[in-house]
Amino acid sequence: MKAHLSRRYLFSASHRLHSDTMSEAENQATYGKCNNPFGHGHNYTLEVTVSGKVDEQTGMVCNLVDLDGFVNREVLEPYDHENLNMLPEFAEQVPTTENLCMRIFEIVQRGFHFAHLERVRLEETMMNSFEYTGAHEPRH
């Protein structure tokens, strides 16, 4: 029997949406106010969903202490109160929330082995959220 567990986390970070491969006019047309040279910040809500068999002894998909510890150490500590543009992983990639969401998914998928990662959802504002479930092979 497979069950899902979703856990929410909060962190704050800033970014400027700007691509060095586009002109100033193209950046302004594409990103609008998010292209502000001084950047802007968000209070993000991260939701990580894992799944797995419910352990007969513990009654859990995975131990929340393990999940919380991993997410705190590998995601929240590196990103909380940071300017995303200054981080190495965004040196050549625009730190959109879509790209941040995919990056967080990769971090959790690569390092958290106590349950299967189903999805990462990242809420940027009350009106914007992004979800990533991993790269899937096209069906034939």
For the segment(s) 2-132, the CATH number from 3.90.1300.10, 3.30.479.10, 3.40.50.80, 3.40.640.10 is 3.30.479.10
Q: What is the mean pLDDT of the chain?
A: 95
Report angle CA 42, 47, 51 to the nearest 5 degrees: 165
pLDDT at 28: 98
Report angle CA 9, 50, 126 to the nearest 5 degrees: 40
pLDDT at 140: 47
What are the catalytic residues? 34, 81, 124
* Per-residue pLDDT tens digits for 65-105: 999 999 999 999 999 999 999 999 999 999 999 999 999 99
The residue among 140 and 116 whose pLDDT is bigger is: 116
The residue among 1 and 34 whose pLDDT is bigger is: 34
At position 4, the amino acid (one-letter code) is: H
* Cα separations in angstroms, 96 against 37, 42, 130: 15, 12, 10
> Percentage of residues in the chain with pLDDT exceeding 90?
95
CB 75 within 8 A of CB 9: yes
pTM to 2 decimal places:
0.94
Give the DSSP per-residue string, 93-135. S---HHHHHHHHHHHHHHH--SSEEEEEEEE-SSS-EEEE---
* Per-residue pLDDT tens digits for 118-140: 999 999 999 999 999 998 755 54
